C-alpha cells in the first residue's frame, strides 16, 4: 500500500466541534474528502446544518449537524451519543471549539476569564473524555485538539491572557491524555495554528487593524489559510500516524521562531 492509500480515511467516522465555520469547517471538509463520515458540532445549529449539507454534496460522504455547548457535560454526552447512534463508532474526534477575548488583564472580570477557560480548556477535556470512552471501548481512535501558537508565545499587541493560558493548558492536557491512553490505543495530539485568515479574523472590527502588524512580524509576511491545516489533521486522524501521540504540531509560518 502506497503512502496516499495509507492517508485515506475511507469509512472512518469523525466528530468535529466548532465545525460550522472557519478552521473546524475546513478540517471537517478535509476529513470527508479523505473518505470519512463527519459530524459537525456547533452552537450555531443553522450554520452547522448548511455546512454539513455542503460537505455531503461536495464529497458524497455522510454528514451530521449537531447543536451542543461543549462546556455542558450533558450536551457533550448527547452529541457523542448521537454521533455514535448515526455512525456506529467514532474513529477521530477533533476538539476545536474555542473563543478569544482581548481584554487587559487588569480589566478582565472573573466571568470573562471563566468563559474562555470553560470553552477552550474544559470543553476540550469534556469532548476528549467522551470520545475517549467510546474509543477505549471500541479498541482505539485518534483525538486531535486545537491549541495555538499562543500556548508558546505571548501575542502582541492584543491583550489575551485568558486565551494564552487556556491554550497552554490544552497542550498539557493533550500530553497527559496521550500518556494515560497510550496502551488503550487512543492517540491524542494537538495542532497549534498561528494567525489564520478565517472570516472571523479578517472581518472582525477589533482584529482587522492588527493584521498588518501580524504580517510584518511573520517570516512569511502573511496569514495562514484554513486549508493549510488540513493535511496534518488528516494525517493525525488516520492509521498512518499510529506512532504519533502526545505531540504538538505548530503550523504558524515560523512566527514562533523569531
CATH number of domain containing 217? 3.40.50.720
User: Structure pTM?
Assistant: 0.96
Catalytic residue among 51, 148, 162, 241: 148
pLDDT at 209: 86
Q: What is the mean pLDDT of residues 185-214?
A: 91
Catalytic residue among 163, 192, 235, 241: 163
In this prediction, residue 170 has a pLDDT band, given cuts at 50, 70 and 90, of very high
For residue 54, tell me if it sits in a domain: yes
pLDDT at 244: 98
Q: What's the structural domain count of the chain? A: 1
Does 218 participate in catalysis according to the annotation? no
Which are the contacts of 132, defined by CB distance < 8 A and separation ≥ 6?
A: 141, 143, 177, 181, 186, 188
Q: What is the average pLDDT score of the chain?
A: 96
Does 148 participate in catalysis according to the annotation? yes
For residue 256, tell me if it sits in a domain: no
Whole-number Å distance between alpha carbons of 124 and 144: 10
Positive/negative CA dihedral, 13, 15, 183, 243: positive
Q: What is the mean pLDDT of residues 44-62?
A: 98
pLDDT at 183: 98
Question: Tens digits of per-residue pLDDT, 110-167?
Answer: 999 999 999 999 999 999 999 999 999 999 999 999 999 999 999 999 999 999 999 9
User: Residue 228: which domain range?
Assistant: 3-251
Whole-number Å distance between alpha carbons of 8 and 34: 5
Catalytic residue among 12, 51, 167, 190: 167
pLDDT at 190: 98
Amino acid at each position: 500500500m502506497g503512502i496516499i492509500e495509507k492517508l485515506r480515511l475511507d469509512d472512518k467516522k469523525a466528530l468535529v466541534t466548532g465545525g460550522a465555520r472557519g478552521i473546524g469547517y475546513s478540517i471537517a471538509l478535509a476529513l470527508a474528502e479523505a473518505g470519512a463520515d463527519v459530524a459537525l458540532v456547533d452552537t450555531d445549529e443553522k450554520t452547522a446544518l448548511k455546512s454539513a449539507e455542503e460537505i455531503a454534496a461536495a464529497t458524497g460522504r455522510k454528514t451530521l449537524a449537531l447543536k451542543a455547548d461543549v462546556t455542558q457535560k450533558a450536551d457533550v454526552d448527547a452529541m457523542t451519543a448521537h454521533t455514535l447512534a448515526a455512525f456506529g463508532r467514532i474513529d477521530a474526534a477533533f476538539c476545536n471549539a474555542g473563543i478569544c477575548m482581548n481584554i487587559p488583564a487588569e480589566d478582565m472580570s472573573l466571568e470573562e476569564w471563566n468563559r474562555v477557560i470553560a470553552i477552550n480548556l474544559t470543553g476540550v477535556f469534556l469532548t476528549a473524555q467522551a470520545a475517549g470512552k467510546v474509543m477505549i471501548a471500541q479498541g482505539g481512535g485518534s483525538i486531535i485538539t486545537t491549541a495555538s501558537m499562543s500556548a508558546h508565545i505571548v501575542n502582541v499587541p492584543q491583550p489575551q491572557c485568558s486565551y494564552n493560558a487556556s491554550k497552554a493548558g490544552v497542550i498539557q492536557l493533550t500530553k497527559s491524555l496521550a500518556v494515560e491512553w497510550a496502551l488503550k490505543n487512543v492517540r491524542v495530539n494537538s495542532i497549534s495554528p498561528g494567525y489564520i485568515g478565517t472570516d472571523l479574523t479578517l472581518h472582525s472590527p477589533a482584529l482587522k487593524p492588527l493584521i498588518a502588524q501580524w504580517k510584518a512580524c511573520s517570516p512569511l509576511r502573511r496569514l495562514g489559510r484554513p486549508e493549510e491545516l488540513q493535511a496534518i489533521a488528516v494525517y493525525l486522524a488516520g492509521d498512518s500516524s499510529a506512532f504519533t501521540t502526545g505531540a504538538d504540531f505548530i503550523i504558524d509560518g515560523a512566527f514562533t521562531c523569531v
